[in-house]
Amino acid sequence: MNVIRLIRPTAEYSNDIWAYRREFLENSIDEDMGGCGKLRECSSAEEWLSQVEALTNPETCPEGMITADTYIAVRSCDNKIVGITDIRHNLNTPVLKEWGGHIGYCVRPDERRKDYAKEMLRLNLDNGRRLGLKRIMVSCNVNNIASERTILANGGVFERETEDGSGHRIKLYWIEL
């Protein structure tokens, strides 16, 4: 695995953000793109950048949403986005408390099976420590073995299995910071 770093998304990365989105859509990947906010629904990278920036501050966070920080995982050797991850500052909504969790992450389809998800989660746990969180809830689809391994590799302890709002079975884990 090449070295990656988590950085806040900026307009400098607009073309690569949009290529990231297009790669999911063109490959008919119907996963939810966890950690990417509403990237799938946005009409431009600039719209998405504006949305994720609004979430960072309680004064600009849209009503019904939770403050969160979104990061792009950038490979150091070529400055390519290999993934996107976010961390929610709290779990103050029923969805997040029941099955959403603090951290979402998603790896670009052509960059999978290179341990980037494991490193993204590890780096984002450091962000949780900076936020003052004592433990982090992370979830994955019961059939997503790769994500489950990522969570376990970062100290995840299984709590329970539940169902999300769409009828999918979800596994919940806690990671002590």
Q: How far is CA 38 from CA 21, 51, 72, 147, 162, in A?
A: 10, 8, 14, 20, 23
Tokens 């490979």 correspond to what residue? 75
Q: Where residue 38 falls among pLDDT bands split at 50, 70, 90?
A: confident
- pLDDT in the model for residue 81: 96
- Looking at the chain, the whole-number percentage of residues with pLDDT higher than 70 is 96
Q: What is the pLDDT of residues 91-115, one digit of tens each?
A: 887 777 777 889 999 999 889 999 9
Q: How many helices (H) and strands (E) does the chain have?
A: 5, 7
CB 62 within 8 A of CB 47: no
- pLDDT in the model for residue 30: 57
Burial class, 32, CB count within 10 angstroms (exposed 0-12 / middle 13-18 / buried 19+) = middle
Read off the pTM.
Answer: 0.93
Orientation angle between helical segments 45-54 and 14-26, nearest 10 degrees: 110
CB 67 within 8 A of CB 61: yes
Other beta carbons less than 10 A from residue 153's beta carbon: 14
Q: Taking 80 as the threshold, does the pLDDT of residue 27 lie above it?
A: no
Lowest mean pLDDT of 23-37, 86-100, 136-150, 154-168, name the range: 23-37
